[in-house]
Amino acid sequence: MTIPNSSDTLARLADVMESRKPCNGGDPSASYVARLLAKGPDGFLKKIGEEATEVVMAAKDLDHGGDKGKLVGEVADLWFHCMVALTITAWHLQTSSRSWSAAKAPAASKKKPCAKY
């Protein structure tokens, strides 16, 4: 079994999110990401706050026998919603065959940024 390169997976996810912007044809009736983006910052930032709270609660539950898998799932949800927020900034993952350095050198998407989400 081949394990996919995580930077390739994240780059593909970023491409899909970019395609979900309304200005790129994203359809809120067919896409969760397009629906979040259509709500504007108040919608997806509220979702980030909710997910962050769920991460905190799942982490606290570990002290009382909580499931580690629940924490991992909640963190994944938070990361996903943070990527939705990054999508509006025309941020895109900078990938290469050797490394992923988005934190050091984020690159704008090759597409022109949309005027609005």
**Res 102: pLDDT:** 47
Answer left, alpha or beta for residue 114, where phi above 0 means left and psi between -120 and 50 means alpha: beta
Task: Using the predicted structure, report yes or no on whether residue 31 has a pLDDT greater than 50.
Answer: yes
Residue the block writes with tokens 């090759």: 110
In this prediction, residue 70 carries a pLDDT of 97
Q: What pLDDT is recorded for position 88?
A: 81
Q: What is the pLDDT of residues 42-96, one digit of tens each?
A: 999 999 999 999 999 999 999 999 999 999 999 999 999 999 998 887 665 543 3
pLDDT tens-digit profile of 100-116? 444 444 454 455 666 55
Type of residue at 4: P
